[in-house]
Each structure stands twice: as C-alpha cells, then as structure tokens.
Amino acid sequence: MELNPLLITNARLLGGESASLLVVDGRIAALDPSETPEGTETIDAKGQWLAPGIIDLGVFATDKPAFHFGGITRAALMPDSGPLDNSGLVERAAKAGKPDLWVHPLAAATKGLAGKELAEIGLMKQAGARAVATGRARIADAGVMRRVLAYAAALGLTVIAHAEDEGLTAGAVATDGEMATRLGLASAPAIAEAMAIARDLMLAEETGAALHFRQLTTARGIALIRDAKARGIAVTCGITPAHLFLSDTAIGDFRTFARLSPPLRSEDDRHACLAAVADGTIDILASGHDPRGPEDKRLPFAEAAPGMAGAETLLAMGLQLVRDGHVTPARLFDLLAANPAKLLGLDAGRLEVGLEADLILIDEGTPWQVDAKKMAAYAGNTPFDGMPVQGRATMLWKGGQRIR
Amino acid sequence: MTSATIRPASDYPPGGDAFRHRHLTGIAQLTPWEISYVLDAAEEWVEMNRSGAAKHDDRLAGLTIINAFFENSTRTLLSFEIAGKRLGADVVNMHAAQSSVKKGETLIDSAMTLNAMRADAIVIRHASSGAVQLIADKVDCPVLNAGDGRHEHPTQALLDALTIRRRKGKVEGLTVAICGDVLHSRVARSNILALTLLGNEVRVVAPPTLIPPAIERMHILPFTDMDEGLKDADVVMMLRLQNERMDGAYLPSPREYHALYGLTPQRLELAKPDALVMHPGPMNRGVEIDSSVADDPTRSTITEQVEMGVAVRMACLDILTRRKRGVPGWN
C-alpha cells in the first residue's frame, strides 16, 4: 500500500523541545525538515509529546486492542502459550500481529519449557526469535541453565530469566509478611528472588552470556544486580508498574487481580524498586500483560491464576513515575522503548532518521480512571482497578501507518 | 497491647447497632462489644440447652439454613445443624468435599445456586482462605464462616471465649498460650484476633517451622520453647496437628513433637495452678496432648467447648437473621 508522506508539526520531544517530524515511506525522514514532499499529510500535534512506540518486553498474549490503546507498537511474546519451543510456532507467532503490531516471539529455552532439554534455539532464531526465555518459572536445574546460557550466548541471544527459587516458593501465593499471615495465605520469603538471581549471575559471568531478569522486585535482588553491573557482567533487568506502585497490602480482601508472579512485596521493597528505576539499575519497564478472565480470577485467592492485564495502564503508570520525579520523560522512553529494542537487537525504539516510523502522540495530562469493566484488553484483570491516572496515547503509527 | 476498646465490652448499643454485620466472615471485622454481645446472647442458649426436655425455640421457624461444607467436617457441621434445628429452622446439609465439587467457577456457581434456592442463611466451610468472603459478596442472605483455609474460624473463637469467660469469670487480662501448628491453623488466627481484642496477653508456642511469618505483628508473643511459653499461663489452648505435617516436611516425627511440644502433666505444672486446658478437637492423644491432661475435668474444658459451640452458633444464627425476620430495631 502506498503511504503518503506524513508531517507531524508542533510536537514536543521528550527533551522538551518543540519539533516537527517528517515520515516518508514508513520511515523517519527528517526532524524539523526545511521542505516537505508533495502530497504530504500534516498533523498538528498541538504541543503533545511525540515519542517512539512502546516496545513491551515480555507479554503473555497477543492482545492487539490493549496494545494499541496503550501506545505499544511492538511486543515481545513470552514462550509460555504454546509453548514456543519450535521454529514453526515461532514463525506463526511472529506473523500474528502484522501489519499493525509487530510481535517478537521469545524462544523457549527448553523443550516444552520443562527445564530439562535444550529447545531448538538456533532454528527458532532463524524463524525470528529475538531472545530466549525461561517462561513463567526459572530453570530449576543449574546445569541445564548453564547450558542454555552458553548456547544462547554463542547465538548472540539474551536469556530472559524468571527469578524465584522454586524450593522456597513451592505452594506460595504471597510474600512472607503480616498481610499473608492475617489472610492465612501460604507465603514465601522475599529472598527467594535474590537466591535465584545469585545463581544465575554466577552462571552468566562464567558463560559470558547476556542475561535479563524480566522482573526485579526486591531490595536484595536489586543490590545483587547493582553489584554485578558494577563488575561488568552483561546483566539487565526489568519491572512492571505493579511492583512500583503496589505493595502486598493490595491483596487485602483477597483481591485476585493483585495475585501476581512474583507476588507483591513489602513497602520497603517497593521503595527500593522505585530507587532502582531512578538510579538506572532497572533497564526496562514492561506491562507483563497477561489477560485473565473470570474463570481464572473469580476464585479463592490461592486457586486463582497469577497475572495482570497491564498493557493499557503501562504508559499512564510510567508517566506517573515522571510526575513523581523518579525519571525524566527521556529516561522513561529508554525504559519503555530504547532499552527493550537494544535487548531484542531491533533498530527501533528511538526517534532517529532512517528508523521505522513507530510513533505515538501522548496527551500526558488528561486524567482518566482505570476501570476493569471497560478495558480494551480481552480481560480486565488490572490491579489498578479504580485508580485515577493521567495521560494516554492519542495517536499511534506503526511503520508510518496511522493505527489510531 | 493497650486495649482497643473505647466502649466497655459489656456496654453495647441498642438494637441492630449492637452487631452491625450482615455476615460473620471473621473476627477481624468485629469490635469488642460485638463479641460480648454474641457471648451474652449465647449464655441464654446455654441455659435452654441444659434445661432438659424442651430444647427448642421456634424463632427461626420457616427459615431455611444451608450448611455448605466444601471440606470434610463432622463436629462443626453437626454443631451448626443442631443449632439451626433447636431454633426451629429447616436445616439442609450440602456435603461437597473438594473431590466431588470441582474447584473454580463452580464455587461461585454453587453459591448462586444456593442463593437461588432462597436460603435464609448459608454456613460455609471451604479449604481455601478467602472462599467464604468470595461467596458472601455474591449472595443475598447472611453467610457464616465455618472455617476457610488457614484464614478464620470465627465461631470457634467465640465459643472458646465463652468457655473461658464461664470458667474464669472474665475473658480479659488473662495470659493465653496458643500451642501447636499455628501456621496452618484458622482456629489460631481467629483466637489471636478475638483474645487480643478483648485485652488478653496472647502467646504463640510452636516449632519454628510452624510459626507464621511476622506473627508478632498480630500483637502476640512468639515462643519456640514450650516450657517458656507456658509459664504462668491462665489458659493453655492446644491446636490439632495434622498427621501429614509430621512426616518430615515440617516436623521430624510424632514422638519428637510429643517430646518437645506435647502437653504433659509435668509441662502443665509450669502454667498457673488453675490454668485451663483447651482443644478444638479432634485430639491426637499422646501426640499434642496426654490423655491424663485431656481427661482431667478440673483443668480440661474440651467437652464444654463442644457444648458452648452449639450455644454460640445458635446466637450467631439468631442475630444474623434478625433483619430478615423483622425483629424491631434490626433493619
């Protein structure tokens, strides 16, 4: 399809400067162009922010309406549904979103995600897999994890790991603390995360592999990552807004929308996570999008499935980090776009001439209320239900094509 | 802990303000005077239950009470059934152990079914913490929690408080040691809440593997040494230890448990000379409690607890159905 050139005028870049941006043939052609080609369509941004489309690292479903609402133009799909452990499935998953959403499948590290035998990571890479992931759980066997890391490193792929020690967390649905004890919920100590991180850091250091922890949620875990980064280990880490804005008090009244994996932590851990976002220890902010209907959530707490629908609230919660002074707008989009692109080896996530025009316009001030009953996602299991938030994507382009 | 009571526990407001809850899901929702109100009401039923032939009152005549037990129980179910029948209600028992009723949406569906049958009160036991609250939010009639997972078992705490009050003349300012598998015990949680709320010093005595995390935040003193924990206690409340906890996962063996945490006559001597011995039943004789202690009528309240259970449940069923029955002052 032939695309007309597009000129977005009167936009505010993340550094605060006013600019216009020209898109030709689906790519960013110029910032503040002196002249525009014939037939250019002009959009007046009216002072709204112009940002790269969000690249959501580690979602559990290809939920296009939710991603588009949330300003997400690319999503890295976790291998759990399928599981994505062979090249055919990876190829199919990669095509699922096109043309208006790009899905980057993450290859299952082991066959069936069983944590025992290496999956065909090389063939999956050829089929389009951009990284390797252990899935919802970690690989329990350290020997297997070591081989996964070494194998992926040789292929130039980052391994995305889950950090919870399965011995400590067996049967647990909450973090040790007053809330779990009062509610009578089986819980595990928060150090289950740091223990898993410690093991995988050593294996990553030894194999020279690039390692990414999809969710970092505890002060002890953060301290290990901070130290490893200082020593030059190729480790990165991410977090979802839930662990930045909610602590385990949110599970009071047995609210299953707040049943997450890893579980919500203490208030002290939450503050440590905010500090780690501010000081650069945390590299990626992601939605963890995992829509779950009533059949999974309208259950007694311990029987409910963990997970949250996060795609629609990711941008608004990120903007809250800006308003609270934890990050600048530019840093927010490093967390939301540039850093995930780097991990996935994508030439995307920045506003640079020559890159694909994956763009969003953001009205950062308009208030709205999160309402689990009115979500674009195919299930409304948001732990932020009822919360007043500010800011949303008003327009979205994928490869220069206006989506909304 | 300083007493949380602003209003003295013996002084409750008139009419429906004396107990302002639609359901009884836990002790956590109650005030001290609401607990006293239930206990005072239960005293009257104790009198009637002991009065001989006519153990009957027809105030709940025409009402339907469903005992929906999703987890196996003998004594609690029986106790609720007798309580309902002595008040003249039509009592129906639904046995739905986890094996036959599938989990999940079916729980809500079961609740909606019970609701559609126009039950006037539903008594629920379920193996999952929070399951009773989940059902209470979906139905139109009062719901009574007969035990949900490890969370709460409010009528047990109320009957224990009544038992203590009748034996000691009060249930405040006492030192109560709750001993055993506190981690997995809803009885312990409800009793900790009720007894601290009423102004008692509560101790928790358990092996380190069976003490819940951050339990001191519930205003109790934790002990792993039973001899220390029993010192000068007015009440020793034993908990049942499930056999599957003693297979090496939480505890090495029954005999080691008995040696370290069993209530023997020698250990009981560390408590006050007139200390009460309580147990919610059923007992593992020779494991958590010695028969000589359990069967000592001057110390043990175990059969009395069962008796108080019926009275307390009658009081709860009466109070929670008053709005429905249009009792003056309860609307």
Residue B4's pLDDT is what?
Answer: 45
User: Nearest CB to B130: which of A181, A189, A301?
Assistant: A301
Highest mean pLDDT among A129-133, B6-10, B100-104 belongs to A129-133
The C-alpha of A370 sits at a distance from chain B's nearest C-alpha, in angstroms, of 22
Q: pLDDT tier at B3 (50, 70, 90 boundaries)? A: very low
User: Nearest CB to B107: which of A181, A254, A299?
Assistant: A299
**Dihedral, CA of residue B193, residue B195, residue B196 and residue B201, to nearest 10:** -140
**CB interface of B with A, residues 143-162, below 8 Å:** 148-152
**CB interface of B with A, residues 173-192, below 8 Å:** 186, 189
Residue B100's pLDDT is what?
Answer: 52
Q: pLDDT tier at B246 (50, 70, 90 boundaries)? A: confident
Residue type, B280: P
Contact between chains at A300 and B129 (C-beta distance less than 8 A): yes
Q: What is the mean pLDDT of residues A236-258?
A: 97
Q: CA B42 to CA B29: how far, in whole Å? A: 19
Percent of chain A with pLDDT strictly greater than 90: 97
Q: What is the mean pLDDT of residues B101-117?
A: 77
CA diameter of chain A:
68
> Most B CBs within 10 Å: which of A187, A251, A254, as the mutation test of the B interface?
A254
State residue B90 phi and psi, 5-degree precision. -85, 115
Residue A3's pLDDT is what?
Answer: 83
Task: Answer whether A178 touches B (CB < 8 Å).
Answer: yes
A289, containing H or E segment: none
Q: In this structure, are strands A235-239 and A359-369 parallel, antiparallel, or unpaired?
A: unpaired
Helix pair B302-320, B154-168: axis angle to 10 deg: 120
Contact between chains at A254 and B149 (C-beta distance less than 8 A): no
Neighbouring C-alpha atoms within 13 Å toward the C-beta of B325: 18
Q: pLDDT tier at B331 (50, 70, 90 boundaries)? A: confident
> pLDDT tens digits, residue range A310-343?
999 999 999 999 999 999 999 999 999 999 999 9
Q: CA B81 to CA B212: how far, in whole Å? A: 33
Q: What is the mean pLDDT of residues B57-67?
A: 95
Residue A80's pLDDT is what?
Answer: 97
For A183, name the nearest residue in chain B, comparing CA atoms only: B151
Task: Answer whether B135 touches A (CB < 8 Å).
Answer: no
> pLDDT tens digits, residue range A210-234?
999 999 999 999 999 999 999 999 9
Q: pLDDT tier at B99 (50, 70, 90 boundaries)? A: very low
Stated pTM of the model: 0.93
Write down the H helix ranges in chain B. Answer: 32-50, 75-86, 105-116, 131-136, 154-168, 186-197, 226-230, 254-261, 265-268, 291-294, 302-320, 322-325
> pLDDT tens digits, residue range A260-270?
999 999 999 99
Task: Answer whether B121 touches A (CB < 8 Å).
Answer: no
Q: pLDDT tier at B7 (50, 70, 90 boundaries)? A: low
State residue A81 phi and psi, 5-degree precision. -85, 120
Residue type, A131: A
CB within 8 A of B64, min separation 6: which ones? Answer: B89, B90, B91, B92, B117, B118, B119, B120
Q: pLDDT tier at B223 (50, 70, 90 boundaries)? A: very high
| A99 has a pLDDT exceeding 70 | yes
Q: pLDDT tier at B2 (50, 70, 90 boundaries)? A: very low
Q: Give the angle subtended at the CA of A383 by the CAs of A261 and A73, to the nearest 5°.
A: 80
Residue B138 tokens read as 């979906």
Task: Answer whether A303 touches B (CB < 8 Å).
Answer: yes
**CB interface of A with B, residues 180-239, below 8 Å:** 180-187, 189
> Most A CBs within 10 Å: which of B29, B151, B250, as the mutation test of the A interface?
B151
Q: What is the mean pLDDT of residues A71-77?
A: 98
Neighbouring C-alpha atoms within 13 Å toward the C-beta of B73: 28
Q: CA A273 to CA A265: how far, in whole Å? A: 10
Residue A148's pLDDT is what?
Answer: 98
Q: pLDDT tier at B188 (50, 70, 90 boundaries)? A: very high
Q: What is the mean pLDDT of chain A?
A: 96
Contact between chains at A183 and B151 (C-beta distance less than 8 A): yes
| A95 has a pLDDT exceeding 90 | yes
Q: pLDDT tier at B109 (50, 70, 90 boundaries)? A: confident
Q: What is the mean pLDDT of residues B271-300?
A: 96
Q: DSSP characters for B299-328?
A: TB-HHHHHHHHHHHHHHHHHHHTHHHHT-T
Residues of B in contact with A187 (CB under 8 A): 213
Residue A383's pLDDT is what?
Answer: 97
Residues of A in contact with B128 (CB under 8 A): 300-303
Contact between chains at A184 and B126 (C-beta distance less than 8 A): no
Q: CA B221 to CA A356: how far, in whole Å? A: 63
User: Nearest CB to A178: which of B134, B186, B217?
Assistant: B217
Residue A362 tokens read as 């953001």
Q: What is the mean pLDDT of residues A128-140?
A: 97
Q: CA A159 to CA A393: how far, in whole Å? A: 31
A380, containing H or E segment: none
Task: Answer whether B29 touches A (CB < 8 Å).
Answer: no
User: Nearest CB to A300: which of B128, B215, B218?
Assistant: B128
Q: What is the mean pLDDT of residues B222-240?
A: 98
Q: pLDDT tier at B98 (50, 70, 90 boundaries)? A: low
| B211 has a pLDDT exceeding 80 | yes
- In the numeric block, the tokens 């990711």 are attached to A314
Contact between chains at B213 and A254 (C-beta distance less than 8 A): no
Q: CA B3 to CA A181: how far, in whole Å? A: 22
Contact between chains at A184 and B186 (C-beta distance less than 8 A): yes
Contact between chains at A300 and B28 (C-beta distance less than 8 A): no
Contact between chains at B129 and A254 (C-beta distance less than 8 A): yes
Contact between chains at A303 and B128 (C-beta distance less than 8 A): yes
Q: What is the mean pLDDT of chain B?
A: 92
Q: Which of B66-70, B222-226, B239-243 is the least confident region?
A: B239-243
Residue B5's pLDDT is what?
Answer: 44
Residue B1's pLDDT is what?
Answer: 40
Contact B157, B134 (CB under 8 A): no
> Most B CBs within 10 Å: which of A179, A182, A268, as the mutation test of the B interface?
A182
Q: What is the mean pLDDT of residues B145-166?
A: 98
Between A133 and A98, residue with greater pLDDT: A133
User: Nearest CB to B215: which of A181, A253, A295?
Assistant: A181
Residue B101's pLDDT is what?
Answer: 59
Percent of chain A with pLDDT strictly greater than 70: 100
Residue A82's pLDDT is what?
Answer: 87
| A374 has a pLDDT exceeding 50 | yes
- In the numeric block, the tokens 């890479």 are attached to A125
| A349 has a pLDDT exceeding 50 | yes
| B104 has a pLDDT exceeding 70 | no
